[in-house]
Amino acid sequence: MTRSLDLSARRLLAMARKETLQLKRDYRSLITAFVYPALMIVFFGYVITFDIRDINLAVYDQDGSQRSRELIQAFQAAGYFRVTQRLDRYQDIQPLLDRGAVRLALVIPPGFQRDLSAGRPAAVQALVDGADANTAAIALNYAGGIVTAYSARVLLRASQGSVPVVAQARVWYNETLKSSNMVVPGLIAVIMMVIAAMLTALTVAREWDRGTMEQLAATPVHRVEVILGKLLPYLVIGLIDVIAAVAIGLLLFQVPFRGNPVLLVGLAALFLVGSLGMGIFISAATKTQLLATQVSLLATYIPSLLLSGLIFDLASMPFALRVISLVVPARYFVVVVRGIFLKGVGPEVLWIQGLAMIAFAAIGLTLAVRAFRKEIA
Protein backbone atom coordinates (compact mmCIF):
# COMPACT_ATOMS: atom_id res chain seq x y z
CA MET A 1 0.00 0.00 0.00
CA THR A 2 2.92 2.32 0.58
CA ARG A 3 4.81 3.57 -2.34
CA SER A 4 7.59 5.68 -0.94
CA LEU A 5 10.32 3.97 1.02
CA ASP A 6 10.59 6.32 3.96
CA LEU A 7 12.25 4.16 6.56
CA SER A 8 12.95 5.19 10.12
CA ALA A 9 15.71 3.63 12.19
CA ARG A 10 13.79 4.55 15.33
CA ARG A 11 10.73 2.56 14.33
CA LEU A 12 12.90 -0.35 13.28
CA LEU A 13 14.67 -0.35 16.64
CA ALA A 14 11.38 -0.04 18.53
CA MET A 15 10.26 -3.14 16.65
CA ALA A 16 13.50 -5.00 17.41
CA ARG A 17 13.37 -4.06 21.09
CA LYS A 18 9.79 -5.25 21.40
CA GLU A 19 10.62 -8.52 19.67
CA THR A 20 13.58 -9.05 22.01
CA LEU A 21 11.44 -8.47 25.10
CA GLN A 22 8.85 -10.96 23.89
CA LEU A 23 11.54 -13.46 23.03
CA LYS A 24 13.10 -13.15 26.47
CA ARG A 25 9.79 -14.13 28.05
CA ASP A 26 8.93 -16.96 25.72
CA TYR A 27 10.70 -20.02 27.04
CA ARG A 28 9.65 -22.13 24.06
CA SER A 29 11.40 -19.78 21.70
CA LEU A 30 14.43 -19.64 23.98
CA ILE A 31 14.66 -23.42 23.95
CA THR A 32 14.38 -23.43 20.17
CA ALA A 33 17.00 -20.71 20.01
CA PHE A 34 19.63 -22.06 22.35
CA VAL A 35 18.96 -25.62 23.49
CA TYR A 36 17.81 -27.31 20.28
CA PRO A 37 20.80 -26.34 18.15
CA ALA A 38 23.29 -27.52 20.78
CA LEU A 39 21.37 -30.78 21.27
CA MET A 40 21.11 -31.34 17.55
CA ILE A 41 24.83 -30.82 17.00
CA VAL A 42 25.76 -33.24 19.76
CA PHE A 43 23.12 -35.78 18.86
CA PHE A 44 23.61 -35.79 15.10
CA GLY A 45 27.34 -35.42 15.54
CA TYR A 46 27.44 -38.76 17.28
CA VAL A 47 24.69 -40.49 15.35
CA ILE A 48 25.63 -39.63 11.80
CA THR A 49 28.90 -41.45 11.52
CA PHE A 50 30.44 -43.46 8.76
CA ASP A 51 33.23 -44.76 10.93
CA ILE A 52 32.81 -48.33 12.00
CA ARG A 53 34.63 -49.29 15.13
CA ASP A 54 34.64 -52.35 17.35
CA ILE A 55 33.25 -54.74 14.81
CA ASN A 56 32.57 -58.05 16.51
CA LEU A 57 34.79 -60.70 15.06
CA ALA A 58 34.72 -64.48 15.42
CA VAL A 59 37.92 -66.37 14.83
CA TYR A 60 38.24 -70.01 13.85
CA ASP A 61 41.94 -70.67 13.98
CA GLN A 62 42.54 -74.13 12.54
CA ASP A 63 46.26 -73.65 12.40
CA GLY A 64 46.96 -72.59 15.94
CA SER A 65 50.43 -71.49 14.98
CA GLN A 66 52.54 -68.47 15.83
CA ARG A 67 51.79 -66.91 12.45
CA SER A 68 48.05 -67.39 12.77
CA ARG A 69 48.16 -65.76 16.19
CA GLU A 70 50.10 -62.87 14.68
CA LEU A 71 47.40 -62.34 12.10
CA ILE A 72 44.68 -62.36 14.75
CA GLN A 73 46.76 -59.96 16.78
CA ALA A 74 46.97 -57.68 13.74
CA PHE A 75 43.17 -57.62 13.55
CA GLN A 76 42.89 -56.69 17.20
CA ALA A 77 45.58 -54.05 17.01
CA ALA A 78 43.97 -52.20 14.09
CA GLY A 79 41.28 -50.87 16.36
CA TYR A 80 38.35 -51.77 14.12
CA PHE A 81 37.73 -55.30 15.30
CA ARG A 82 37.09 -56.93 18.60
CA VAL A 83 37.54 -60.67 18.83
CA THR A 84 34.50 -61.78 20.77
CA GLN A 85 34.37 -65.45 19.87
CA ARG A 86 37.01 -68.09 19.37
CA LEU A 87 35.52 -71.12 17.66
CA ASP A 88 36.50 -74.73 17.34
CA ARG A 89 34.06 -75.83 14.68
CA TYR A 90 33.16 -74.40 11.31
CA GLN A 91 29.44 -75.00 11.91
CA ASP A 92 29.45 -72.55 14.81
CA ILE A 93 30.06 -69.65 12.48
CA GLN A 94 26.67 -69.51 10.83
CA PRO A 95 24.52 -69.21 13.97
CA LEU A 96 26.70 -66.35 15.16
CA LEU A 97 26.31 -64.49 11.88
CA ASP A 98 22.59 -65.28 11.84
CA ARG A 99 22.09 -63.81 15.26
CA GLY A 100 24.21 -60.84 14.43
CA ALA A 101 26.48 -61.65 17.35
CA VAL A 102 29.42 -61.12 15.03
CA ARG A 103 29.66 -59.33 11.71
CA LEU A 104 32.75 -60.96 10.43
CA ALA A 105 34.25 -64.40 10.90
CA LEU A 106 37.86 -65.09 10.12
CA VAL A 107 38.83 -68.64 9.23
CA ILE A 108 42.51 -69.50 9.23
CA PRO A 109 43.03 -72.89 7.52
CA PRO A 110 45.42 -75.52 8.79
CA GLY A 111 48.84 -75.22 7.23
CA PHE A 112 48.76 -71.42 7.25
CA GLN A 113 52.18 -71.10 8.86
CA ARG A 114 53.63 -73.93 6.84
CA ASP A 115 52.58 -72.33 3.57
CA LEU A 116 53.91 -68.96 4.60
CA SER A 117 57.23 -70.39 5.69
CA ALA A 118 57.52 -72.22 2.43
CA GLY A 119 56.92 -68.98 0.60
CA ARG A 120 53.68 -70.28 -0.82
CA PRO A 121 50.56 -68.18 -0.96
CA ALA A 122 48.31 -68.81 2.00
CA ALA A 123 44.63 -68.06 1.97
CA VAL A 124 42.40 -67.03 4.85
CA GLN A 125 38.64 -66.93 4.65
CA ALA A 126 36.47 -64.01 5.78
CA LEU A 127 32.74 -64.56 6.18
CA VAL A 128 30.72 -61.40 6.46
CA ASP A 129 27.16 -60.56 7.38
CA GLY A 130 25.99 -58.76 4.27
CA ALA A 131 22.59 -57.71 5.61
CA ASP A 132 23.88 -54.19 6.06
CA ALA A 133 25.75 -53.85 2.80
CA ASN A 134 27.42 -50.60 3.77
CA THR A 135 28.90 -51.87 6.97
CA ALA A 136 29.78 -55.20 5.36
CA ALA A 137 31.72 -53.45 2.61
CA ILE A 138 33.56 -51.28 5.10
CA ALA A 139 34.34 -54.26 7.33
CA LEU A 140 35.66 -56.29 4.41
CA ASN A 141 37.66 -53.31 3.33
CA TYR A 142 39.26 -53.04 6.75
CA ALA A 143 39.89 -56.77 6.89
CA GLY A 144 41.50 -56.69 3.44
CA GLY A 145 43.72 -53.84 4.50
CA ILE A 146 44.86 -55.64 7.63
CA VAL A 147 45.63 -58.83 5.72
CA THR A 148 47.54 -56.90 3.05
CA ALA A 149 49.58 -55.09 5.66
CA TYR A 150 50.31 -58.38 7.36
CA SER A 151 51.42 -59.97 4.07
CA ALA A 152 53.78 -57.10 3.48
CA ARG A 153 55.29 -57.66 6.90
CA VAL A 154 55.71 -61.35 6.22
CA LEU A 155 57.39 -60.65 2.90
CA LEU A 156 59.75 -58.20 4.51
CA ARG A 157 60.60 -60.61 7.25
CA ALA A 158 61.41 -63.22 4.67
CA SER A 159 63.96 -60.61 3.62
CA GLN A 160 63.37 -60.99 0.02
CA GLY A 161 64.32 -57.40 -0.46
CA SER A 162 61.60 -54.78 -0.46
CA VAL A 163 57.98 -55.16 -1.32
CA PRO A 164 57.67 -54.44 -5.06
CA VAL A 165 55.07 -51.68 -4.98
CA VAL A 166 53.51 -50.01 -2.03
CA ALA A 167 50.91 -47.34 -2.57
CA GLN A 168 51.52 -44.45 -0.23
CA ALA A 169 48.11 -42.85 0.03
CA ARG A 170 47.83 -39.60 1.87
CA VAL A 171 44.49 -38.16 2.73
CA TRP A 172 44.24 -34.41 2.68
CA TYR A 173 41.99 -32.16 4.80
CA ASN A 174 40.63 -34.96 6.94
CA GLU A 175 43.76 -36.98 7.55
CA THR A 176 42.31 -39.35 10.05
CA LEU A 177 39.22 -39.91 7.87
CA LYS A 178 37.14 -39.20 10.93
CA SER A 179 33.61 -38.80 9.70
CA SER A 180 32.71 -36.33 12.45
CA ASN A 181 35.14 -33.95 10.77
CA MET A 182 32.87 -34.05 7.74
CA VAL A 183 29.57 -34.26 9.56
CA VAL A 184 29.88 -31.62 12.27
CA PRO A 185 30.70 -28.62 10.05
CA GLY A 186 27.96 -29.65 7.61
CA LEU A 187 25.55 -30.04 10.51
CA ILE A 188 26.12 -26.44 11.52
CA ALA A 189 24.76 -25.36 8.16
CA VAL A 190 21.71 -27.61 8.25
CA ILE A 191 20.85 -26.85 11.87
CA MET A 192 21.11 -23.11 11.33
CA MET A 193 18.69 -23.35 8.43
CA VAL A 194 16.13 -25.30 10.43
CA ILE A 195 16.45 -23.29 13.65
CA ALA A 196 16.36 -19.92 11.93
CA ALA A 197 13.25 -20.73 9.96
CA MET A 198 11.56 -22.27 13.01
CA LEU A 199 12.26 -19.24 15.16
CA THR A 200 10.85 -16.65 12.83
CA ALA A 201 8.01 -18.85 11.68
CA LEU A 202 6.23 -17.82 14.85
CA THR A 203 6.84 -14.09 14.77
CA VAL A 204 4.28 -12.81 12.30
CA ALA A 205 1.77 -15.59 12.85
CA ARG A 206 1.82 -14.80 16.57
CA GLU A 207 0.74 -11.23 15.84
CA TRP A 208 -2.21 -12.59 13.88
CA ASP A 209 -3.08 -15.29 16.43
CA ARG A 210 -3.06 -12.86 19.34
CA GLY A 211 -4.80 -10.00 17.55
CA THR A 212 -1.91 -7.59 18.03
CA MET A 213 -1.52 -7.24 14.29
CA GLU A 214 -4.49 -4.90 14.21
CA GLN A 215 -2.91 -2.29 16.47
CA LEU A 216 0.44 -2.71 14.77
CA ALA A 217 -1.06 -2.25 11.32
CA ALA A 218 -2.82 0.93 12.42
CA THR A 219 0.51 2.62 13.16
CA PRO A 220 2.65 4.30 10.51
CA VAL A 221 5.29 1.55 10.75
CA HIS A 222 6.53 0.45 7.33
CA ARG A 223 6.47 -3.25 6.53
CA VAL A 224 10.20 -3.22 5.78
CA GLU A 225 10.73 -1.85 9.30
CA VAL A 226 8.54 -4.61 10.73
CA ILE A 227 10.43 -7.34 8.89
CA LEU A 228 13.93 -6.00 9.62
CA GLY A 229 13.00 -5.20 13.22
CA LYS A 230 11.72 -8.73 13.73
CA LEU A 231 14.73 -10.21 11.99
CA LEU A 232 17.43 -8.34 13.88
CA PRO A 233 17.20 -10.09 17.29
CA TYR A 234 17.04 -13.49 15.62
CA LEU A 235 20.09 -12.69 13.53
CA VAL A 236 22.02 -12.00 16.72
CA ILE A 237 20.78 -15.28 18.20
CA GLY A 238 21.68 -17.14 15.02
CA LEU A 239 25.23 -15.81 15.08
CA ILE A 240 25.60 -16.76 18.74
CA ASP A 241 24.38 -20.23 17.76
CA VAL A 242 26.92 -20.47 14.94
CA ILE A 243 29.75 -19.52 17.27
CA ALA A 244 28.52 -21.96 19.91
CA ALA A 245 28.21 -24.71 17.30
CA VAL A 246 31.76 -24.06 16.10
CA ALA A 247 32.94 -24.23 19.70
CA ILE A 248 31.15 -27.56 20.21
CA GLY A 249 32.75 -28.84 17.01
CA LEU A 250 36.21 -27.82 18.16
CA LEU A 251 35.97 -28.90 21.77
CA LEU A 252 33.72 -31.92 21.74
CA PHE A 253 34.44 -33.41 18.33
CA GLN A 254 37.97 -32.04 17.89
CA VAL A 255 37.23 -30.91 14.38
CA PRO A 256 40.12 -28.85 13.01
CA PHE A 257 39.43 -25.22 12.11
CA ARG A 258 41.83 -23.98 9.47
CA GLY A 259 40.08 -21.05 7.81
CA ASN A 260 39.13 -17.49 8.51
CA PRO A 261 36.53 -17.13 11.29
CA VAL A 262 35.50 -13.67 10.07
CA LEU A 263 34.66 -15.06 6.64
CA LEU A 264 32.60 -17.81 8.28
CA VAL A 265 30.65 -15.36 10.44
CA GLY A 266 30.07 -13.05 7.46
CA LEU A 267 28.72 -15.81 5.23
CA ALA A 268 26.76 -17.25 8.17
CA ALA A 269 25.09 -13.86 8.65
CA LEU A 270 23.97 -13.82 5.01
CA PHE A 271 22.76 -17.41 5.26
CA LEU A 272 20.85 -16.58 8.44
CA VAL A 273 19.19 -13.54 6.88
CA GLY A 274 17.97 -15.80 4.10
CA SER A 275 16.72 -18.51 6.46
CA LEU A 276 15.10 -16.04 8.85
CA GLY A 277 13.47 -14.34 5.88
CA MET A 278 12.09 -17.69 4.74
CA GLY A 279 10.63 -18.22 8.19
CA ILE A 280 9.00 -14.79 8.23
CA PHE A 281 7.68 -15.39 4.73
CA ILE A 282 6.07 -18.67 5.81
CA SER A 283 4.76 -17.00 8.97
CA ALA A 284 3.21 -14.07 7.12
CA ALA A 285 1.73 -16.31 4.46
CA THR A 286 0.16 -18.88 6.79
CA LYS A 287 -0.94 -16.45 9.54
CA THR A 288 -1.30 -19.16 12.21
CA GLN A 289 1.48 -20.33 14.48
CA LEU A 290 0.66 -24.02 14.16
CA LEU A 291 0.59 -24.07 10.38
CA ALA A 292 3.66 -21.86 10.15
CA THR A 293 5.67 -24.21 12.35
CA GLN A 294 4.67 -27.26 10.36
CA VAL A 295 5.30 -25.67 6.98
CA SER A 296 8.68 -24.29 7.96
CA LEU A 297 9.77 -27.59 9.45
CA LEU A 298 8.81 -29.41 6.27
CA ALA A 299 10.28 -26.79 3.97
CA THR A 300 13.64 -26.63 5.70
CA TYR A 301 14.30 -29.87 7.51
CA ILE A 302 13.92 -32.48 4.83
CA PRO A 303 15.62 -30.69 1.94
CA SER A 304 18.42 -29.45 4.17
CA LEU A 305 19.07 -32.84 5.69
CA LEU A 306 18.77 -34.93 2.55
CA LEU A 307 19.74 -32.66 -0.33
CA SER A 308 22.54 -30.62 1.16
CA GLY A 309 25.31 -33.17 0.74
CA LEU A 310 25.55 -33.50 4.51
CA ILE A 311 24.75 -37.21 4.60
CA PHE A 312 24.28 -38.30 1.03
CA ASP A 313 26.70 -37.59 -1.75
CA LEU A 314 24.93 -35.28 -4.19
CA ALA A 315 27.03 -36.43 -7.16
CA SER A 316 25.63 -39.94 -6.93
CA MET A 317 22.01 -38.86 -6.76
CA PRO A 318 19.52 -39.18 -9.62
CA PHE A 319 19.50 -36.23 -12.00
CA ALA A 320 16.14 -34.88 -10.79
CA LEU A 321 17.27 -34.73 -7.17
CA ARG A 322 20.54 -33.10 -8.17
CA VAL A 323 18.58 -30.37 -9.95
CA ILE A 324 16.32 -29.86 -6.94
CA SER A 325 19.35 -29.69 -4.66
CA LEU A 326 20.55 -26.65 -6.60
CA VAL A 327 17.88 -24.54 -4.90
CA VAL A 328 18.52 -25.92 -1.41
CA PRO A 329 20.43 -23.07 0.26
CA ALA A 330 21.97 -25.35 2.90
CA ARG A 331 23.80 -27.17 0.09
CA TYR A 332 25.96 -24.10 -0.52
CA PHE A 333 26.46 -23.28 3.11
CA VAL A 334 27.55 -26.87 3.85
CA VAL A 335 30.35 -26.34 1.32
CA VAL A 336 31.22 -23.01 2.96
CA VAL A 337 31.44 -24.41 6.49
CA ARG A 338 33.35 -27.53 5.47
CA GLY A 339 35.68 -25.51 3.28
CA ILE A 340 36.50 -23.00 6.00
CA PHE A 341 36.77 -25.63 8.73
CA LEU A 342 38.74 -28.37 6.99
CA LYS A 343 40.44 -26.79 4.01
CA GLY A 344 40.96 -23.27 5.26
CA VAL A 345 39.90 -21.91 1.89
CA GLY A 346 38.82 -18.31 1.37
CA PRO A 347 36.84 -16.24 -1.13
CA GLU A 348 39.02 -17.42 -4.03
CA VAL A 349 37.28 -20.80 -3.76
CA LEU A 350 34.02 -19.95 -2.02
CA TRP A 351 32.94 -17.02 -4.17
CA ILE A 352 30.21 -19.07 -5.87
CA GLN A 353 28.80 -20.05 -2.50
CA GLY A 354 29.20 -16.42 -1.38
CA LEU A 355 27.08 -15.27 -4.30
CA ALA A 356 24.55 -17.98 -3.47
CA MET A 357 24.41 -16.65 0.12
CA ILE A 358 23.85 -13.09 -1.10
CA ALA A 359 21.12 -14.26 -3.44
CA PHE A 360 19.49 -16.32 -0.70
CA ALA A 361 19.52 -13.40 1.74
CA ALA A 362 18.02 -11.09 -0.89
CA ILE A 363 15.33 -13.60 -1.87
CA GLY A 364 14.46 -14.40 1.74
CA LEU A 365 14.06 -10.73 2.64
CA THR A 366 12.08 -9.91 -0.47
CA LEU A 367 9.67 -12.79 0.06
CA ALA A 368 9.22 -11.82 3.72
CA VAL A 369 8.49 -8.17 2.96
CA ARG A 370 6.16 -9.03 0.08
CA ALA A 371 4.16 -11.53 2.08
CA PHE A 372 3.66 -9.11 4.96
CA ARG A 373 0.42 -7.17 4.60
CA LYS A 374 -0.79 -4.38 6.79
CA GLU A 375 -4.36 -5.05 5.73
CA ILE A 376 -6.83 -6.43 8.25
CA ALA A 377 -10.03 -8.00 7.00
Provide the binding-site residues for another protein, judged by CB under 8 A. 1-2, 8, 10-11, 13-15, 17-18, 21-22, 25-26, 210-222, 374-377
Q: Which is nearer to another protein, 202 or 335 (CB)?
A: 202
Number of other CB atoms surrounding residue 40 within 10 Å: 17
Q: Which is nearer to another protein, 69 or 374 (CB)?
A: 374
In 211-288, alpha helices (H):
212-217, 223-251, 261-286
Q: Which is nearer to another protein, 13 or 74 (CB)?
A: 13
Identify whether the C-beta of residue 274 lies closer than 8 Å to the C-beta of residue 364.
yes
| Min separation Cβ 3 and another protein, Å | 8
| Min separation Cβ 37 and another protein, Å | 24
Q: Could you give the C-alpha distances from 73 to 64, 70, 129, in angstroms and in order? A: 13, 5, 22
Burial 282-310 (b: 16+ CB within 10 A, else e): bbbbbbebeebbebbeebbeebbbbbbbb
| Min separation Cβ 297 and another protein, Å | 24
Q: Which is nearer to another protein, 6 or 54 (CB)?
A: 6
| Min separation Cβ 265 and another protein, Å | 29
Phi and psi at 123, nearest 5°, equal -110, 140
Identify whether the C-beta of residue 326 lies closer than 8 Å to the C-beta of residue 359.
no
Q: Could you give the C-alpha distances from 318 to 314, 321, 322, 325, in angstroms and in order? A: 9, 6, 6, 11
| Min separation Cβ 13 and another protein, Å | 7
Sheet holding 81-86, edge to edge: 81-86, 55-61, 104-108, 125-128
Show the CA angle centred on residue 181, arms to residues 178 and 187, nearest 5°. Answer: 135
Q: Which is nearer to another protein, 12 or 182 (CB)?
A: 12
| Min separation Cβ 7 and another protein, Å | 12
| Min separation Cβ 369 and another protein, Å | 15
Q: Which is nearer to another protein, 298 or 376 (CB)?
A: 376
CA torsion angle 344 349 352 354 (round to 10): 40
Identify whether the C-beta of residue 328 lies closer than 8 Å to the C-beta of residue 309.
no
Q: Which is nearer to another protein, 320 or 377 (CB)?
A: 377
